[in-house]
Amino acid sequence: MKNVVLGMSGGVDSAVSAWLLKQQGYNVIALFMHNWEETYDGCCTAEQDYDDVKRVSDKLGIPYYSVNFAKEYKERVFSYFLDEYKKGRTPNPDVLCNREIKFGPFLQYAKALGADYIATGHYCGIAHKDGKHYLLKAKDQSKDQTYFLNQLSQSQLQDVLFPLQNVDKTEVRRIAAELGLVNAAKKDSTGICFIGERNFRAFLQNYLPNQSGEIVDVDGKTVGEHIGLMYYTLGQRRGLGLGGTPDGQGRWFVVEKDLINNRLIVSHGDESVLMSRALVASGVNWIPDAPADEFTCTAKFRYRQSEQGVDVKVLEDCKIRVDFHEKQRAVTPGQFVVLYKDEMCIGGGVIDEVYK
């Protein structure tokens, strides 16, 4: 019987993944990761999550362990997160968490426990052909999480199982309810992994000093004051503290961050100032290889977005240029552009430059 070490988070997806793996004849071991140790407002969801892991594991009759990767997380993920915000960019640490923790130290720890495979509750699929490993979209397109796995390498995908590849979310909830699992109706986690639903600005203030400055419109007229450029993202409308516009043309929205002069540039009405036609991304990872030096595919510029047609040109130094078939709104430096060919996620990189 093959051994599978499953990353169990306390949520319903990984819980049902454990049951599915048992049904397939694997010897399943649950492993809970402590990636964050600090508490805010007296809240530490990790304790409750680990309690749920224990109760689910007992119900399913599988052993469970916990491991602390907080040091690795701060060094490999959180430091990057802060550095990006210092640069005025909007990072996606969940992508780095997968590459640097869940498929890094976790994978190594699982192998030390005697794992033949590791598994997670991600909604995605895996295929193997001619010694290459391919990351596939999930059956449940509304939950597909390949976006967050775009940085995984061939070695990281070699011995991985994704039990939810062909299972949709409603079926996961149904299975959990029928099994009487304690987390059958547990709310899905949202927000950045280590912040959750806490107040983001209050959290960030613990690590980065505020530097307030002017909010100006596209003509350079001062219309308000911002509390720090790191707290805003392109296209943002809420939380600007500007109220309505004098001419009644709708709410203000963020157009750009002027880092040199510490100014937040805003506009209202016509959103064409938010539209862009191309980007350059760096740190590009291919799963497994680039299809060609130049090719056409689809792409996502944020997780909650439908795929868009693009033309890709491979550049030197792990960079790509991506030209959009249709102009895109609020493409944001620091986020990931993720590329797709049919049902396959072929890779992605960090958005560095955007061309209007």
Torsion of Cα atoms, 130 then 131 then 133 then 139, to 10°: 40
What is the C-alpha to C-alpha distance for residues 216 and 113, in angstroms, rounded to an integer? 57
Whether residue 224 contacts residue 242, with contact meaning beta carbons closer than 8 Å, is answered with yes
Distance (Å, whole) CA 352 – CA 319:
10
Residue 187 DSSP class: P
Query: What distance separates the 2 farthest-apart alpha carbons in the chain?
Result: 71
What type of residue sits at position 115?
A
**For residue 170, what are the contacts with CB-CB under 8 A and spacing of at least 6?**
none
Which class for 223: exposed (0-12), middle (13-18), buried (19 or more C-beta within 10 A)? middle
Of 329, 319, 326, 314, give the one whose Cα is nearest residue 353: 319
Write the CB contacts of 252 (distance below 8 Å, at least 6 apart in sequence): 223, 237, 240, 242, 245, 266, 267, 268
Catalytic residue (one of 43, 44, 97, 297): 97
Q: Which residues pair with 189 in a beta bridge?
A: none
Residues 6+ away with beta carbon under 8 Å from 268 = 245, 249, 250, 251, 252, 253
Of 124, 193, 297, 345, the catalytic one is 193
The verdict on whether 97 is a catalytic residue reads yes
- In angstroms, the CA 93 to CA 336 distance is 10
At a CB cut-off of 8 Å and minimum separation 6, what does 68 contact?
33, 34, 37
- Catalytic residue numbers read 97, 193
